Amino acid sequence: MSSGQGHVRGVLAPWGEGFREKLLSRGYSWGSAAHQVHLMAHFSGWLGESELSPGQVDRAAIAAFLRTRRSEGYVKLLSGRAMAPMIEHLRDLGVVPPEAPPPLAPAEALLGEFAQYLFDERGLAQDSVRSYVGVARRFLAHMGSDEFAGLSAGAVAGFVRDECARRGIGSAKTTVTGARAWLRFLHRTARTRMSLAPAVPSVANWSLAGLPRAIGTTELTRLLRSCDRRTAVGRRDFAIVTVCSRLGLRAGEVAGLELADIEWRRGELVIGGKGARRDRLPLPADVGEAIAAWLKRGRPSGVDTAAVFVRLRAPHGPLASTGVSAVVRRASVRAGLEPIGAHRLRHTAATRMLQAGGNLIEVGQVLGHERLLTTAVYAKVNRSALAEVAQPWPAR
């Protein structure tokens, strides 16, 4: 075998040192990077012994290599997940061919078509698409078929009743909305003769009956102080809690923030809202200071993503919306509060704006609400705001 840089020899030798550098740039420790490079060296030797070129690497070849690795007594890095960083690196360089997608079952192909319809024609956000596709998948499992010629209104109503019986109000309403979107899609694509969306029963619920569950000033102070700003994790978490509690952003909007969305000179943030909406919000000084501290003294340098908030464990990458909520939840536990998610901070931001003298229209604009009725629920936490939506008592 020909010698190469680092520990990698053989057919993968030219890319061994570049792989090590990429791992280190993505936050891997020297020890973890060394284990990955040793794995590449073993794979390179196996390819040579098997008389395979990098261009012949596929799922079957990877599985065969891992079987050999186990038979030789290795006890670590024995899964496809362990191979993923190396294979991803080689694919990015064009050394290993892209993985051919496995053939989709008819039901999965149909769900993929539904997701594309929601993205392209309905303009829904990714979280909404994921939720609606989940409803459609449960619908298919309930019906036990992907044939819809004999689908009836009674069968649709039965599915919705069974699903909603074991869910809370919020989850049940999402199920109903997703089911209607799914049935409209089936009719639009000529899979049903008529739209069965009207057969979906509504969820019994008093509009605006609930009270927004904001947290108080004392609890918010404890939440912020639970973030140790002497550490990178603490600076990131403090910035996330500050953004959520001051601007009322959704977890997905925080996760979607990119460096170019912060217009420092104009003092504005560009927010990607639901669907294709792009809104501008003022950047308060305390929010800007928290984000700047994270970017200067927390966010890893050289991260290959434009996201503002990233994971600090390797491999570095953007936080998902679930990661943003997890940050808030961990901070609440550290502060000795009940576990709360990012949406509670959205309620908190709205309540504080009203208490500071803002009106419902202004709060709705900050929260990105399309209808005043959506914002009207916050009127119940403030008497002056409640007066804005109260009707005058009719004269005798």
Catalytic residue among 274, 329, 330, 334: 274
Catalytic residue among 28, 117, 132, 378: 378
Catalytic residue among 26, 250, 299, 347: 250
75: Cα separation from own chain's centroid: 33
Domain total in the chain: 3
For strand 262-263 and strand 278-282, is the pairing parallel, antiparallel, or unpaired?
Answer: unpaired
Asked if 85 and 110 sit in the same domain, the reply is no
Q: Which domain holds residue 169?
A: 106-199
Would residue 343 show up in a list of annotated catalytic residues for this protein? yes
Is cis: bond before 318, omega within 30 of 0? no
The CATH number linked to 336 is 1.10.443.10
Q: Are 262 and 313 in contact, with CB atoms under 8 Å apart?
A: no
Asked if 242 and 307 sit in the same domain, the reply is yes
pLDDT tens for each residue of the chain, 396 residues long: 333 344 799 999 999 999 999 998 888 889 999 999 999 999 999 999 999 999 999 999 999 999 999 999 999 999 999 999 999 999 999 999 998 777 778 888 999 999 999 988 888 877 789 999 999 999 999 988 778 888 999 999 999 989 888 877 778 888 999 999 999 999 999 999 899 999 998 876 545 455 567 788 899 999 999 999 999 999 999 999 999 999 888 888 899 999 999 999 999 988 875 555 678 888 999 999 999 999 999 998 878 889 999 998 888 889 988 899 999 999 999 999 999 888 889 888 888 877 777 666 666 666 666 665 555 555 555 555 555 555 666 664
Domain boundary among 167, 199, 231: 199
Would residue 250 show up in a list of annotated catalytic residues for this protein? yes
Q: Is residue 156 part of a domain?
A: yes
Asked if 128 and 70 sit in the same domain, the reply is no
Would residue 7 show up in a list of annotated catalytic residues for this protein? no
Catalytic residue among 91, 137, 142, 343: 343
Q: Is residue 390 part of a domain?
A: no
Catalytic residue among 26, 346, 347, 352: 346
Would residue 246 show up in a list of annotated catalytic residues for this protein? no
Asked if 84 and 114 sit in the same domain, the reply is no
pLDDT for residue 360:
65
Matching residue, tokens 């008529």 = 194
Would residue 346 show up in a list of annotated catalytic residues for this protein? yes
Distance CA(344)–CA(352), nearest Å, equals 12
Distance CA(223)–CA(217), nearest Å, equals 10
pLDDT for residue 1:
36
pTM (2 d.p.): 0.63
Phi, psi of 211 (to 5 degrees): -110, 130
Would residue 378 show up in a list of annotated catalytic residues for this protein? yes
